[in-house]
Amino acid sequence: MSHLKKTLLPILVITVGSAAYALGFVWCYAPNGIAFGGITGVGQIVNFLVPAAPVGATVIVLNIPLFLLGWKLIGGRLLVTSLYAMFVSSVFIDVLTPMRVWEPMDPLLACIFGGLFMGLSLGLIFLQGATTGGTDLIARLLKLRLAWLPMGKLLMGIDLAVIVAVAVTFRTLYAALYGLVALYISTIVMDGVLYGLDNAKVAYVISDHNKEISDVLVKDLDRGVTVLHGRGAYTGAEKDVLMCAFKQREIAAIKAAVKEIDPDAFVIVCNAHEVLGEGFRDYKKDDL
């Protein structure tokens, strides 16, 4: 039962993400002539030049050489899940398009909600170790070499060229400008889904009551504490610094506990991009 759940849950998430991807495209991008990045953007160009070529089917055809090229690098599981995500999202696009008349909306609203749909859908799909093919797959491959770059930023750089090409095809600068706004929003949302769900923080505490503070953090709040050895630059006095990683929802309790013990404590709270380990996210091979 557990194995079945581990197999079906990623497929379900990929399917939901692919549906959101298609809905964002046919509802927000296509009716408003907003430039769309990636292979889907190239599909927009082909469909504009050859109306008989559906966007979804065009995307599938264009992705074939990319999947063949990336076979050795992405591995079997990523290939299969990416093929599934690409196929489902493309089918959803071609099914949803004739389902109703998707009337244009305010372009700014289309950018905002289109970006939200795209960022959320791609984030969900990437979390399951898949891509929607095209430039998503290219970005995933580049991530193997440029592990320090967030996926959203990688994808944004690749998609910029396609957005410019779409704008040139539709012969409107506004298509590119709105496309850039939507791309930026989708990048923020995608990186938020991939890296920001844990909402981790790190607190540095400098106090004369380190023992009492660390005991409360460890025993009462169940948080790990590391003691760093420091020295004041002005006084030259040796001073221990407490470092504690915690979840966003715990910030009020931690600050209250520290200040209750030592109202004069010097506290620095920083955003943590990722925290791996006990109580937080586990590391996985080829993690994004």
Instruction: Pick the more confident residue, 5 or 43.
Output: 43
Query: In the sheet where 238-247 sits, what is the strand order?
Result: 226-231, 238-247, 200-206, 266-271
Q: Please tell me whether residues 170 and 30 are part of one structural domain.
A: yes
* Residue 247: domain span: 200-271
Q: Please tell me whether residues 68 and 152 are part of one structural domain.
A: yes
Q: Please tell me whether residues 116 and 259 are part of one structural domain.
A: no
Q: State residue 24's pLDDT score.
A: 93
279 part of a folded domain: no
Report pLDDT digits (tens) over 253-288. Answer: 889 999 999 999 999 998 876 666 665 565 555 555
Report pLDDT digits (tens) over 57-79. Answer: 888 888 777 777 666 666 666 67
| Residue 207: pLDDT band with limits 50, 70, 90 | very high
Structural domain count of the chain = 2
277 part of a folded domain: no
Q: For the chain, what is the mean pLDDT?
A: 82
Buried b (16+ CB within 10 A) or exposed e, 234-265: eeeeeeebbebbbbeebeeebeebbeebbeeb
**What tokens appear for 45 in the block?**
């160009």
- Please tell me what DSSP assigns to residue 248: G
Report pLDDT digits (tens) over 236-261. Answer: 888 899 999 888 778 888 899 999 99
164 part of a folded domain: yes
134 part of a folded domain: yes
Which span out of 195-199, 201-205, 245-249 was modeled with the highest average pLDDT?
Answer: 201-205
Q: Please tell me whether residues 99 and 168 are part of one structural domain.
A: yes
Q: Please tell me whether residues 82 and 61 are part of one structural domain.
A: yes
